Amino acid sequence: MVTMSAFFTSLVTSLVVFVILVILFSILSRRPSNAYIYYPNRILHGQEPPDLVKKAGVFTWIKEAYSATDAELVAMGGLDAWVYTYFFTTALEILLYSAVFCVVVLIPICVTSHNNAALNNVNNTYVKIDNLAMGNVPNKSAKIWAFLLAAFWVSFVTFYVLWKSYKRVSTFRIQDQTSAKVKPEQFAVLVRDIPKPEVHQTRSEQVDSYFRKLHPGTYEKCLVACDISKAEKLYLEIEKIKLKLEHAQAVYELSKGKGGDGVRPTHKTGFLGLVGAKVDSIDYYNEKLKELTPNLEKERTRALADEQQGAAFAFFSDRRSAAEASQVVHSPDALKWQVYAAPEPREVIWSNLAKPVSQRALRKAIVYVVVFLIVLFFMIPILFISALTTLNNLETLLPFIKAIVKIKVLTAVIQAFLPQLALIIFLALLPSLLMALSKAEGIPSKSHVSRATSGKYFYFIVFNVFLGISIFGTIFASLAGFKQLIQSTGLTVSYVVKLFGQKLPPLASLFITYVALKFFIGYGLSLSRVVALVIYHLKRKYLCKTEKEIQAAWAPGSLSYHTNVPNDMLIMTLALCYAVIAPLILVFAILYFLIGWLIVRNQVLNVYVPEWESGGRMWPHINNRILAALFVSQITMLGFFGVKEFPYTVLLIALPVMTVAFYFVCKLTFYPAFAHLPLAIASEEMKEIPSLASIVEAYTPACLLEGEQFEDAKFEDAQSNMTSRTNSGITSPA
């Protein structure tokens, strides 16, 4: 598919870009003014920029990333980030063990065979790099036994490493759950689908009476979900105006500093500050604040009283009772009073809490159908858009384009790049689209949305990049192939498996360049953070006036697991699929995960700041996706060994069966402790028992919590009345 020179050109280009970016990083990261870009997480943990920059260098970051302990990683990035770094460790181990056999034994076998040369007489499409792959071994050769053995080796190695890793992560999660650190979510449960209250009851009375009966002595109080959308909107508006006010004041102070009385900043109130009446900014924003603050108070009171919904957080006096309550069927009608483990306060998605179960089921079904269609037919809207954006069409839609069309060169360029542009824009927007779809399912926590998005994106990426390029590219390329697919009499399972076997091996070198491009360029960019750096310096120089604005300019955000995990998983899928067929890919995949391992650890330690913490619940997801990748690879090999007319191919059927069995064993053994807090852990003594007030406060949304004039009495409407304290050390809130 790729010639030898193209293959090396691609590799070398990627490598050169990577080296340049690494050099850039080692230069830039030494400058103190850049510390906010390269060490934001450290700075937020209280370290001083000058100290951080001193030690920076090409090898120091590698040494630091390499020698960081698990405890350090968890301390800096939380358990979720540690789990993500551990995914790299696991992938690396699997690939290294696989390479021991595949690279050392299989490549020499391939090189000493001459199938490609023999076939070359007939068909002149192979390149020398293909001699390192299984395609070079003649059909029915006894040498194929070695490849069969390798297939088993790779599968067993994967099982072994995954088992060890799941156990390790599981132990680590349990340590974290038992730890002395106070976790409000361990004292709360999320109650959804609360039925309509009786006429004389408020929601909180209803929840109180129900839970007090079912959990006598341990139930404390509840916090009913309200429709806070309006209050939140007002709250955010006020926060924005406060920032603008600060900015205006800073501008005024600066102008004073230059001598004289200073110039009071002004702006226009209309669209984008371009039109409308000119006003004094400080006065205007002060006025606005005075106007909006009482509105927010009013809205708060109204929402808490009138907008109570059918969901609530219930708080318990000890973690044991909360853990127990979260796992138990409460109502005989199982769709009512559904009780779940509470998500961490930071990751609650308030707008989803009160969505009734029927709506959630319907939304989920619709989202699944939409995602299925996106995965399968994502090219169609792109083609439609590019058809729509041909110049002829644009001319009729936007008449002013006519002038441009007259310039011939421009026309050619636009016509060539418009479809690609549409594709690039679509692919860039896809994660956000999938995220929005996952959120629309009615999932109550951000970490869960992230996992759901990750799953959807994984299917999209594996189906379209991997399967898409290899198989469907071939089938749909010609109309004849498409017709054959439609006349489904020819489309049997064995036919599809055979197709896998035929179409995949020639693509190995293509995918090797893909992996190399991905890690050299991708990692180079994410290590050097050049884009973030440039934006930060521009913003700081021209826009930011206040401390808060500067902080917002360098805020690194959190690791976006929902795009990272599927992308890494694609490399894993490629590596596993080609590990036996074209073992050379293992070398590049190992490089990918090795450099990735260093860079991700560096970023967890220095850069990204976690937004929420799910306690490593991404791991079961990662484990299952690696198994899915293994499963695909086993099916692929079944096809390829069949094409090689090797009579013992039938032995390979055992592998996918074992993979499925292993999946279930993992699920039964480890998953329950991820889905629920085991009672044995919840029953452990705690050093410090948090006050109920602090837990309730953690769960109250910001827009309902702030405001000094806010009366506590009103607030008590949405919370329940306190039960008389029983035996815990929790004290009532004021």
Q: Given the rule CB under 8 A, which residues bind its own copies?
A: 170, 174, 213-214, 320, 323-324, 327-335, 337, 357, 361, 365, 488-495, 661, 664-665, 668-673, 675-681, 683
Task: Give, as one character, the DSSP assignment of residue 348.
Answer: B
Q: List, in order, residues 6 or more apart from 690 with CB less than 8 Å away.
A: 182, 184, 187, 730
CB of 358 to its own copies, least distance (A): 9
Residue 177 CB, shortest distance to its own copies, in Å, is 9
**Distance between CA atoms of residues 148 and 661, nearest Å:** 20
693 and 734 Cβ atoms separated by less than 8 Å: yes
Q: Which is nearer to its own copies, 39 or 670 (CB)?
A: 670
**Of 47 and 209, which CB lies nearer to its own copies in the complex structure?**
209
Residue closer to its own copies, measured from CB, 236 or 328: 328
- Rounded-to-integer distance, Cα 46 and Cα 69, Å: 19
Cβ at position 493, least distance to its own copies in Å: 8
Shortest separation between residue 671's beta carbon and its own copies, angstroms = 7
Q: Are 228 and 703 in contact (CB under 8 A)?
A: yes
Q: Are 316 and 220 in contact (CB under 8 A)?
A: yes
The Cα 606–Cα 43 span in angstroms is 8
Q: Which is nearer to its own copies, 378 or 671 (CB)?
A: 671
DSSP letters spanning 590-641: HHHHHHHHHHHHHHHHHT---S---SSTHHHHHHHHHHHHHHHHHHHHHHHH
Residue type, 490: G
Beta carbon nearer to its own copies, 32 or 195: 195
Place of tokens 């551990």: 86
Q: In this complex, which beta carbon is closest to its own copies, that of residue 334 or of residue 383?
A: 334
Judged by beta carbon, residue 172 or residue 350, the one nearer its own copies is 172
* CA neighbours closer than 13 Å in the CB half-sphere of residue 421: 11
Edge to edge, the sheet with strand 188-192 lists 219-226, 308-316, 188-192, 338-341
Nearest approach, Cβ of 216 to its own copies (angstroms)? 8
Least distance in Å: CB of 504 to its own copies? 22
Closest approach, Cβ 323 to its own copies, in A, equals 7
Provide, rounded to whole angstroms, the least separation between the CB of residue 329 and its own copies.
Answer: 5
What are the residues facing 315 on neighbouring strands?
A: 188, 221
Let me know if 229 is exposed, middle or buried by CB neighbors in 10 A (0-12, 13-18, 19+): middle
Report the residue number, 3 or 492, with the smaller CB distance to its own copies: 492
CA 431/CA 651 separation, integer angstroms? 40
Of residues 193 and 220, the one with the C-beta less far from its own copies? 193
Quick one: which of 103, 167, 114, 108 has its CA closest to 138?
114
Residues 6 or more apart whose CB falls under 8 angstroms from that of 341 comprise 185, 189, 190, 323, 326, 327, 675, 676, 677
Closest approach, Cβ 523 to its own copies, in A, equals 36
Q: Kindly tell me which of 331 and 700 has the beta carbon lying closer to its own copies.
A: 331
The CB-of-130 to its own copies minimum distance in angstroms stands at 30
CB 148 within 8 A of CB 648: yes
Q: Which is nearer to its own copies, 57 or 490 (CB)?
A: 490
Residue 338 pairs in a beta bridge with 192
